Structures are given as C-alpha cells and as structure tokens.
Structure 1
Amino acid sequence: MPSRPAERTDEAAWHAPGPQAELWLDYDPAARELPGFALGRRVLSGPAGAEVTGLHRAGVRCLRLTEPVRLCADAPPASARALMLLREATAQGLAVLWRAVCTDGCAARRRFHHLYPPERVAGAPEEVVADWRATYFPSKCVVRRGPGFAEVRDRRFGTLELFTIDEPGHLEQLDALAEGVGTDLLPDAVRRDLTEAGLIAEQAGRAWFLPMRVRRWPFPSLTV
C-alpha cells in the first residue's frame, strides 16, 4: 500500500506539461537573429515523435530546451521526456541547443552519444563534451523496421554493432518503448534482452528505446 501514492505521483509527473523549448526557422545563429526567424517558446507535451514531426513540417530547424536535462538513472520524468524529444529531433535533422547534467559518470559511457551533442554537461569533465562532439555524426544509432523484424545499427561505442529484433513479443513492445513504458509492464525477457544490448534506458520508472528511427539517411551511407 505505501508504494501506491508514489506510483500515482510518478504517473502524474510523467504526463505533466513540458518540456519547454525555444524555436527558430534556421540553423544559423546569425539567421536566428533576423526578424521573423524566432517562433518564441512552446511547451511540447505530446508524444515526442508527433511533436517533432509537427515542428519540422512547420519549418522549425533549431530548438533550445530551456531546462537542463539529467542523464542519470535517477533522472526525473521531465528529463526522460526531454531525452526522447532529443532522439526524435536528432532523427529529423534539427539542431538542438541544450544543457545536460550528470553526477554518476554515465555521460562518459556514450549511451547518449547518438543524440545531438549538448552545449555542456554539468558535473562531467570537459573532455566528455569534447568527445561527444568529436565523435558525433547523424544516424549513429538507428532502427529500421521491416516486415516481421527490426534492425538496429549502433556505432555509439566506435565499432558497428548490428542487432536484429524478430521475436514477436519483442517487436510488439517497440512502439510503446518509443514513448516510454512502465518497467513493470515490460515483459521480463524483453527488458533483459534490450538492456543487455544497451538499447533501452530506464528512468522515472519507465523504459524507453534509445535508437532513433531512420528519417534522413546520411551520405555516405557506409558511415552508418
């Protein structure tokens, strides 16, 4: 019984408004200063994929997250949702201005190094951000869906790692994992296998899928 109020609080926090972002119509810092290029601030409370698709169709090419994003396992719901938004924005080719916070050393493990690099990581050595920026390239960790399977191509840790997901029970969870699913609702085998492969993050009582969908294939494609 004592755990139930906490569960309700976490659920409410997960669905609270946010994150908030400043929006621009151009990548170039100089262009963003011109009249008409700034679109102001917006609270992005919907599903990450739908929010970013809507922004891209509206001409948004750069956004700034107004609050720092915690990377660690104890990150609050707002940070977990911001990271999923970053995943979708990176997949769409948007530039993202953001600040990260890390106090447990996770930033140096490259788990999130497929996301658009942050401006700084509070609590981490400067070389962590330098490494993130130096090694980043588009589509560094992507998932492609096919009939009856999904393929993940992952270069976050230097060499190419390939994962094929073809078990029906695993495939059934991918759409839910894209927006975060309660860890207690995730089948044990799915949670174990995707955790061992380094393909999910668990924060705020939710598990969410780290690889981004292929939206823009980089050139040359062999880099992926």
Structure 2
Amino acid sequence: MTPELTLWKDRDPAAMRLPGIHYGTLDGPPTDPVDAVAQLASDGVQFVQVHEPVDLTDPDGASAVAVLLLVRELTSHGIAVDWTLRMPDPPQWRALSHLHPPAAVFRGSTEEENEDHVVTAWRDSFHIAKCGYRRGPGFLEIRDHRWGSFRRLVVNAPRSTAFHGLLDGVPVVASASTERVLERHLRENLVHRAGRYLWWTPYRLRRWPLSTTIP
C-alpha cells in the first residue's frame, strides 16, 4: 500500500490550522525524491505527515524504500516528518538514526509492540548532519556520527552505474552482482537493504557543519 502524504508550511500545531499553511496532499512519495523535495523546500514546506508505517518486514520493500528516500531528502533539507517505522529487528535502528526521528517504532508485523525506548534513544541522539556527504571532483566525503563516534570516509571516483543511480535517489534491485560492487558500502551501512531493494542512506549536506555545531 502506498502511503498518502499531507504537507504544511509550518510545523507548529496551532499555526497549521491557519489559512494558507496547509500545502496539500500527495497520493504517495514522489518518483524523483531529490528534485521533488528540493521544490517543496523552495515552496516553504516545513512539515510532512506520512499516514502509513514504513514496513521493513515487507519482503518486497518497494514502498518502504520510496518513503525512506523521501524521509532522507526531507531530513537533508531540515523539513520535519511525522512517520512511523515497522522493523523486524528494532536494535538495528542506528543505521537509520540520521533520519528525522519517527513518532513510533513497531517490532515485527503488529502495532502492539511499540519500541518506546528506541524512539527515545533515536530522538535523544539525533542532530543535524549526523550522516551526510559532499561531492568533490572524483570523490565523496562522508561524515558519519550514527554509532556514537565520528567516522570520516572518502570514496574515490565511484564508477559503477549502480552506485551513481543510488546517489541520484534511485534504489536498485539487490542481486549477487550489485552486492559485490557495493560490498564495502553495505558493510559500512552506507547502503541499506529493504526487501528486494538497496538504497543510499547518507543525505547530501546542504551546509558544511562546523565542528562546534555538532557533537
């Protein structure tokens, strides 16, 4: 099921009821999340609500990845997201902890097992530029704070079509060949698997952070 989205130009609940603040609705995540979210940011959107949980227990993964890419791009632009997440293994949440914190995390296929401690830890540890990258001539520099310590990684001149597609926000179908090409990035949690799909997890850093502005 493709989740519906509702958008506002303010994140304050009182302001959201004022005329002109409701931006509208979308039937589902845009097919080009990078350009679409850039346009939303330009239009002044500040808050997006996703009406169905992102389900990482779905063996297909297409719907989950579409929303995860959207949340990644919204986080990159500093746009707040009201979303929920269903995971087969909630302790693995740290690989996604650079994304705007979800309102709830459910274990497995039911909504009765709400992992409140995961949500609390996610919110408490979240900060701007927690895992992002910048592109230079022939390289990517990645700054990763998801695991409690700072990691800086440099990827030199990536050439594979699969890799460039991921950077452009296009997930790829997981296969033995793509996983060989992306093995290092899977190991370092820069690429994440959801069902049959792989997607690039770090977001583009819109502003390069000073060392005093982040933990």
Identify the TM-score tier after normalising by the shorter chain: 0.7 to 0.9
1:163 matched to which residue of 2? 153
* Alignment CA distance shift 1:28-1:160 (3 Å): same
AA aligned to 2:32 is P
* Cα shift at 1:165: 0.4
User: TM-score w.r.t. structure 1 length?
Assistant: 0.82
2:164 matched to which residue of 1? 175
* Cα shift at 1:99: 1.2
1:49 to 15, 34, 48: 34
Alignment of 1:122-133 (within 5 A): 122-123=106-107, 124-133=114-123
Indicate whether 1:98 and 2:86 are aligned.
no
Greater share of residues in helix: 1
Structure 1: 5+ residue stretches without partners: 1-15
AA aligned to 1:110 is R
User: TM-score w.r.t. structure 2 length?
Assistant: 0.86
* Cα shift at 1:183: 2.1
Q: Write the distance in 2 (CA, Å) between the matches of 1:132 and 1:46.
A: 27
Q: Is the 8 A contact 1:72 1:106 kept in 2?
A: no
Question: What root-mean-square deviation, in Å, do the aligned CA atoms of Structure 1 and Structure 2 show?
Answer: 2.3
1:12 matched to which residue of 2? none
Report how many aligned residue pairs link the two structures. 206
Residue-by-residue CA offset, 1:114-162 (whole Å, 9 max, x unaligned): 0000111122521100000000001100011000100111000110111
* Alignment CA distance shift 1:187-1:98 (3 Å): closer
* Alignment CA distance shift 1:19-1:30 (3 Å): same
2:126 matched to which residue of 1? 136
* Alignment CA distance shift 1:75-1:140 (3 Å): farther
AA aligned to 1:31 is A
Q: Write the distance in 2 (CA, Å) between the matches of 1:105 and 1:45.
A: 27
Aligned with 1:169: secondary structure? coil
Structure 2: 5+ residue stretches without partners: 108-113
Indicate whether 1:114 and 2:114 are aligned.
no
Indicate whether 1:25 and 2:15 are aligned.
no
Residue-by-residue CA offset, 1:24-83 (whole Å, 9 max, x unaligned): 011222211112211231133321111211211122111101111124584631111100
Aligned identity (percent) is 32
Q: Which runs of 4+ in 1 moved over 6 A?
A: none
Aligned with 2:35: secondary structure? helix
